[in-house]
Amino acid sequence: MGYLKNSRSIGNIILLSYRHSFHAGNYADVIKHIVLIEIFEHLIKKDSAFDYIDTHAGAGLYDLQNEHASKLQEYQQGIAKLNGEQWPELATYFEVIAKHNPDGGLKFYPGSPLIALYFLRAKDRSWLYELHPKDADLLSKNMANIKRARVMYEDGFKGLLSLLPPASRRGVVLIDPSYEIKKDYTRVVATLIAAYNKFPTGIYALWYPVVDRTLINGLERKLIHSGINNIQRFELAIAPDQFGSGMSANGMVVINPPWTLKDKMTHILPKLVATLGNEGAFYKCDTLVEE
């Protein structure tokens, strides 16, 4: 599975072509959103308000029958392979999806902004960054008239740091770039360190693709030696590592994870490997840095 990339530059401005609509509902979305939902369920257990910051928010909602999703049909090897009746531990995940498919079936898949909105209360706030002009416009339309959500057509890396620490002093940050530019592998670490220094009690969820394992190994080493404590990793590989053949695995690195997260993913990841994986598929569920 490869991502569609065709970035170009004008002067010092890099124009990215990545559109998540080609990949919505794939196995990467499955693990990313399972982790995110567990974090939200943890946050809403307390009455105090929290902030959600999404640095690469996308369009928010995806039509799985449009020309983009139909081109690659990655959702067929992702969410479409999961039967909600066989996954009682993911009941909330399927409730969120069902909310956006009122006629039943699987026509639409919600992205992280709308998954977050499912959990946000009137006192909570959502800050959504998106740089692709078409997706930013779609995101604005999908979040129209929702006062607790703000959409910004800006660089999410820079925007994140301007918001920290949030007024609520509670929150979760999702960093989910396309990694269309290789320097993103180092930029995410630098951003995480800077964000953690400003808001050390926040929950940070970093998504990464495994296209070149050496890049991920480097990313993890930098995080391990960053001085940040309490870091866990959850990875789903649908095939053995295969350099140059597209994404074969993806994962989530979570800083300050809910205490329930590791136990839940220890149970879920083997089932996801069995359901979504090919021969040689594997998973990782471990602690990179102790609390």
State the pLDDT confidence band at 73, using cuts at 50, 70 and 90.
confident
In a domain, 79, yes or no: yes
* Per-residue pLDDT, 8: 39
In a domain, 121, yes or no: yes
Distance of CA 151 to the CA centre of its chain: 17
User: What is the rounded average pLDDT of the residues 188-201?
Assistant: 98
State the pLDDT confidence band at 23, using cuts at 50, 70 and 90.
confident
Q: What is the DSSP string of 213-246?
A: HHHHHHHHHHHHTTT---EEEEEEESS---TTS-
* Per-residue pLDDT, 18: 62
In a domain, 197, yes or no: yes
User: What is the rounded average pLDDT of the residues 229-254?
Assistant: 93
What is the β-pairing status of strands 61-63 and 108-110? antiparallel
Q: What is the DSSP string of 279-291?
A: TT-EEEEEEEE--
Does pLDDT of 3 surpass 70?
no
* Per-residue pLDDT, 68: 67
- Which of 137, 176, 184, 241 is flagged as catalytic? 176
CATH at residue 279: 3.40.50.150
Does pLDDT of 13 surpass 70?
no
Which residues span the domain enclosing 206? 8-289
What's the total number of domains in the chain? 1
* Per-residue pLDDT, 49: 98
Catalytic annotation present for 176:
yes
User: What is the rounded average pLDDT of the residues 197-203?
Assistant: 98
In a domain, 2, yes or no: no
* Per-residue pLDDT, 266: 98
* Per-residue pLDDT, 56: 96
Contact 126, 120 (CB under 8 A): yes
Q: Model confidence over 109-134: pLDDT tens digits?
A: 999 999 999 999 999 999 999 999 99
CA dihedral 32, 221, 249, 41 (to 10 degrees): -20
Does pLDDT of 165 surpass 90?
yes
Q: What share of the chain has pLDDT > 70, as a percent?
A: 91
In a domain, 220, yes or no: yes
Does pLDDT of 11 surpass 70?
no
3-state secondary structure of 236: strand
**Candidate from 18-22, 165-169, 198-202 with smallest mean pLDDT:** 18-22
In a domain, 1, yes or no: no
Q: Which of 184, 174, 246 is nearest to 210 (CA)?
A: 246
Q: Which residue type occupies 2?
A: G
Does pLDDT of 6 surpass 50?
no
Between 170 and 8, the higher pLDDT residue? 170
Does pLDDT of 82 surpass 70?
yes
* Per-residue pLDDT, 71: 67
